[in-house]
Amino acid sequence: MSATTETNYHAGPDAVSAKKSRYRRVSKGRGNFELWSWVFMRASGILLLVLIFGHLFVNLMLGEGIHGIDFAFVAGKWSSPFWQTWDMLMLWLAELHGFNGVRTIINDYTEKDRTRWILKGLLVASALLVMVLGTLVIFTFDPCLDPSSTLSVCAR
């Protein structure tokens, strides 16, 4: 019986002491980042509801509806600073909202710090790519890109 009571539980490979194992509490991550990310998630969610449903309504319901969407329709929309801003906001908020969600999932599911950093690196790179490219397209968009364009704005 004394054998059981004096069991050295450090002996087994699975039974490492909590002080040495990955269960040891190491975190000292202070600061308000997680608070702001939590607030951003809610605020951007509400804003996105308005932006996305507004976008869908204008594109699919007003005027000719879905049949009216073509190159000229997009070109017309992006000639107005209002729609440029709208679309850019939608792009940024959706991308950051999604970025933050996936960041949370990575934090929740990866076990090793290395995997965590690799996945987050990929995530940051993809988010930056989408946001930079998208913003560039919205603001440098040229409706007369095609020399044979028949759009009225391109009439010389």
List residues binding another protein (CB under 8 A).
Answer: 4, 7-19, 21-35, 37-39, 107-111
DSSP conformation class of 11? S
- For another protein, the closer of residues 98 and 143 by Cβ is 98
E-assigned strand segments in 26-155: none
CB of 37 to another protein, least distance (A): 7
DSSP codes, 47-83: HHHHHHHHHHHHHHTSTTGGGG-SHHHHHHHTTSHHH
- For another protein, the closer of residues 70 and 111 by Cβ is 111
CB of 100 to another protein, least distance (A): 11
The answer to whether the beta carbons of residues 136 and 87 sit under 8 Å apart is no
- For another protein, the closer of residues 15 and 136 by Cβ is 15
CB of 4 to another protein, least distance (A): 7
> Euclidean distance between the first and final Cα of the chain, in Å?
99
- For another protein, the closer of residues 104 and 135 by Cβ is 104
CB of 30 to another protein, least distance (A): 6
DSSP conformation class of 19? T
Exposure on the CB side of residue 124, measured as CA atoms within 13 A: 6
CB of 28 to another protein, least distance (A): 8
The answer to whether the beta carbons of residues 39 and 96 sit under 8 Å apart is no
If you count them, how many residues does the chain have?
Answer: 156
- For another protein, the closer of residues 17 and 79 by Cβ is 17
